[in-house]
C-alpha cells in the first residue's frame, strides 16, 4: 500500500512539473514515467550483480563450508523455495548478511566471514531464515522498485527546482501571453513548489517505513521457518554487540542487510529515518513470542510496541494458527565452538583466495600463496622441506 502512495507522489510531482513548465500536465507525467521505467530496467537486470560486485562477495560451493551450505538448504526446504540460492561470502569481520536477486529462482544470500565465525548453528539458521524470507516474500524486488521510485522523485524534484530558479523569466512571459493567470495560477505554483520540497522527504519516509515493515515480516517468517525465534533473537543480540562496521556497505545497499550497517550504538528507538527497526525491539518481540506462527508474532509485536497496528495481513495470520516451538540444538561449550568456527572460516577464506594449505609433520599449517612458483617449501617452524 505504501508503494502505491510513493508512486502517486511521483505522478503528482510529474504532473505539476508538467503544468508548471509546459502548461500541460501530461508532458511531465510522461517524463516521470519514462525516467522511472529506465531506472527500473537497470535495477531489475543488473541490481544483484552490482550489489555483489560492490560488496566484493565470493561464491562458495557445498564443500567449501558444509555447515553454511546445509543451513541454507535447510531453510530453503523450510520456506518451500523451488531452487537453491547462490551462497556468497564477504571477507569482512563485521557481522552482517544480505539477500538479493530479482526473483526467488535467481536469488543469492551473502554472509560475512565475521558472521560465520561468531554465530552458532541455531543463530545462523535464524539469520539465513530471515534472508530466505526476504527472497520468498520478493522483498528484494520490492525494495529495488521503491528505491528506484525514490531516486526518480528526488531527481525530478531536483530538476524542477533548477528550472524554477533559472527559468523563471521565460515562464512569466509565457503565462502572460496565454492570458490565464489569476488566483488559480498562483495556487498551482504554490502547490508545485511545495511538492518539489516535500515530495523527496515524504518519499524517503515512506521508503523507510516500507523497509522497516518488511524487516518485521522477515523476522516473523524466520521464526516460522525455524520454529525457534530464540535463534534469531540471540543472533541479533550478537550482531548488535559487535562494533565492526561493514567496510563495503553504502546508503544504497543498506536496506538489503539484516541489520543496518550504519547503525550507531544506542540509536533512538523507532527512528522514522531508519531502514531497520531498532534491534533491541526486534529481539524483544522475538523473545516474547509464545509460538512460532505469524499470529504469535503479531501478538508479540502489539504487546511490545503497545499498539493495535496490523503488521501482517489477517489472511496470512489466520491460515497458520499457533505453531509449537522446538527445542534448542545441543551445542558444545561456546568457547571451543568459537575457536573451531574461526578456524573453519579462515580456512575457507584462504582457499577462496587460491592459497594452498600444507600441513607439515610438526603440525604447522603452511599457507602457500598462488604466486609461489617453487616445488618445495621450507617449514619456518621445524625447518623440514615440504613438497608443494
Residues designated catalytic:
131
Q: Which residues pair with 365 in a beta bridge?
A: 359
Pick one of 225, 294, 297, 301: the residue that binds other proteins (CB under 8 A). Answer: 225
Q: Which residues pair with 98 in a beta bridge?
A: 110, 257
- The answer to whether residue 344 forms part of the interface with other proteins (CB under 8 A) is no
Cα(172)–Cα(318) distance, integer angstroms: 59
Q: How far is CA 17 from CA 24, 31, 155, 194, 292, in A?
A: 9, 9, 12, 11, 49
Q: Which is nearer to other proteins, 227 or 356 (CB)?
A: 227
Q: Which is nearer to other proteins, 105 or 329 (CB)?
A: 329
Which range touches other proteins (CB under 8 A), out of 24-32, 97-105, 150-158, 333-341?
333-341
- The answer to whether residue 227 forms part of the interface with other proteins (CB under 8 A) is yes
Pick one of 6, 10, 43, 75: the residue that binds other proteins (CB under 8 A). Answer: 75
- The answer to whether residue 340 forms part of the interface with other proteins (CB under 8 A) is yes
Number of shown-chain residues binding other proteins (CB under 8 A): 25
- The answer to whether residue 77 forms part of the interface with other proteins (CB under 8 A) is yes
Pick one of 10, 51, 78, 232: the residue that binds other proteins (CB under 8 A). Answer: 78
Shortest spacing between CB 358 and other proteins, in angstroms: 17
Burial of residue 191 (CB within 10 Å: 0-12, 13-18, 19+) is: middle
Q: How many CB atoms lie within 10 A of CB 326?
A: 13
Which has the closest alpha carbon to 275: 195, 186, 213?
213
Q: How far is CA 32 from CA 16, 29, 41, in A?
A: 11, 5, 14
- The answer to whether residue 61 forms part of the interface with other proteins (CB under 8 A) is no
Between residue 6 and residue 35, which ones bind other proteins under the rule CB under 8 A?
none
Shortest spacing between CB 287 and other proteins, in angstroms: 22
Pick one of 37, 186, 241, 336: the residue that binds other proteins (CB under 8 A). Answer: 336
Q: Please give the DSSP secondary-structure letter assigned to residue 257.
A: B
Which range touches other proteins (CB under 8 A), out of 65-73, 88-96, 204-212, 269-277?
65-73
Secondary structure (H, E, C), 49-118: HHHHHHHCEEEECCCCCHHHHHHHHHHHHHHCCCCCCEEEEECCCCCCEEEECCCHHHCEEEEEHHHHHH
Cα(348)–Cα(63) distance, integer angstroms: 10
Pick one of 22, 24, 80, 362: the residue that binds other proteins (CB under 8 A). Answer: 80
Shortest spacing between CB 78 and other proteins, in angstroms: 4
Which range touches other proteins (CB under 8 A), out of 69-77, 155-163, 282-290, 370-378?
69-77
Cα(368)–Cα(377) distance, integer angstroms: 9
Furthest-apart CA atoms within the chain: distance in Å: 96
Pick one of 53, 272, 332, 388: the residue that binds other proteins (CB under 8 A). Answer: 332
Q: Which is nearer to other proteins, 315 or 385 (CB)?
A: 315
Shortest spacing between CB 354 and other proteins, in angstroms: 23
Shortest spacing between CB 340 and other proteins, in angstroms: 7
Q: Please give the DSSP secondary-structure letter assigned to residue 227.
A: S
- The answer to whether residue 73 forms part of the interface with other proteins (CB under 8 A) is yes
Pick one of 8, 26, 42, 67: the residue that binds other proteins (CB under 8 A). Answer: 67
Q: Which is nearer to other proteins, 162 or 326 (CB)?
A: 326
Q: How many CB atoms lie within 10 A of CB 118?
A: 21
- The answer to whether residue 331 forms part of the interface with other proteins (CB under 8 A) is yes
DSSP β-ladder status, 356-359 and 108-112:
unpaired
CA 192 to chain centre: 34
Q: Which is nearer to other proteins, 202 or 342 (CB)?
A: 342
User: Whose grid coordinates read 600441513?
Assistant: 359
Shortest spacing between CB 384 and other proteins, in angstroms: 23
Enumerate binding residues for other proteins (CB under 8 A). Answer: 66-67, 70-71, 73-75, 77-80, 120-121, 225, 227, 319-320, 326, 329-332, 336-337, 340
Amino acid at each position: 500500500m505504501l508503494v502505491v502512495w510513493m508512486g502517486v507522489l511521483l505522478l503528482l510531482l510529474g504532473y505539476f512539473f508538467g503544468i508548471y513548465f509546459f502548461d500541460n500536465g501530461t508532458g511531465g507525467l510522461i517524463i516521470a514515467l519514462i525516467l522511472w521505467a529506465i531506472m527500473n530496467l537497470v535495477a531489475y537486470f543488473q541490481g544483484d550483480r552490482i550489489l555483489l560486485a560492490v560488496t566484493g562477495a565470493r561464491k562458495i560451493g557445498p564443500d567449501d563450508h558444509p555447515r553454511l551450505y546445509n543451513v541454507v538448504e535447510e531453510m530453503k526446504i523450510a520456506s518451500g523455495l523451488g531452487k537453491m540460492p547462490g551462497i556468497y561470502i564477504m571477507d569482512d569481520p563485521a557481522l552482517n548478511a544480505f539477500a538479493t536477486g530479482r526473483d526467488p529462482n535467481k536469488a543469492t544470500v551473502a554472509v560475512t566471514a565475521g558472521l560465520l565465525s561468531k554465530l552458532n548453528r541455531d543463530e545462523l539458521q535464524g539469520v539465513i531464515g530471515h534472508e530466505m524470507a526476504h527472497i520468498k516474500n520478493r522483498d528484494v524486488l520490492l525494495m529495488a522498485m521503491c528505491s528506484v521510485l525514490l531516486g526518480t522523485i528526488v531527481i525530478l524534484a531536483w530538476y524542477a527546482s533548477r528550472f524554477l530558479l533559472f527559468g523563471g523569466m521565460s515562464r512569466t512571459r509565457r503565462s502572460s501571453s496565454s492570458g490565464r493567470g489569476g488566483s488559480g495560477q498562483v495556487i498551482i505554483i504554490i502547490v508545485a513548489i511545495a511538492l518539489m520540497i516535500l515530495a523527496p522527504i515524504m518519499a524517503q519516509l515512506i521508503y523507510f517505513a516500507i523497509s522497516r515493515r518488511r524487516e518485521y515480516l522477515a523476522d516473523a517468517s524466520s521464526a516460522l521457518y525455524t520454529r525457534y525465534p530464540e535463534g534469531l533473537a540471540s543472533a541479533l543480540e550478537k550482531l548488535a554487540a559487535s562494533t565492526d562496521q561493514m567496510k563495503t556497505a553504502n546508503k544504497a545497499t543498506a536496506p538489503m542487510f539484516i541489520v543496518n550497517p550504519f547503525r550507531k550504538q544506542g540509536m533512538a528507538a523507532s527512528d522514522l529515518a531508519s531502514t531497520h527497526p531498532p534491534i533491541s525491539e526486534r529481539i524483544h518481540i522475538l523473545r516474547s513470542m509464545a509460538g512460532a506462527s505469524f499470529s504469535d508474532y503479531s501478538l508479540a509485536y502489539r504487546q511490545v510496541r503497545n499498539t493495535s497496528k496490523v503488521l501482517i495481513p489477517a489472511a496470512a495470520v489466520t491460515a497458520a494458527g499457533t505453531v509449537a516451538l522446538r527445542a534448542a540444538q545441543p551445542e558444545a561449550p561456546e568457547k571451543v565452538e568459537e575457536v573451531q568456527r574461526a578456524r573453519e572460516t579462515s580456512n575457507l577464506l584462504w582457499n577462496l583466495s587460491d592459497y594452498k594449505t600444507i600441513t607439515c609433520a610438526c603440525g604447522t599449517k603452511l599457507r602457500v600463496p598462488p604466486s609461489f612458483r617453487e616445488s618445495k617449501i621450507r617449514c619456518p617452524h621445524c625447518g623440514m622441506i615440504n613438497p608443494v
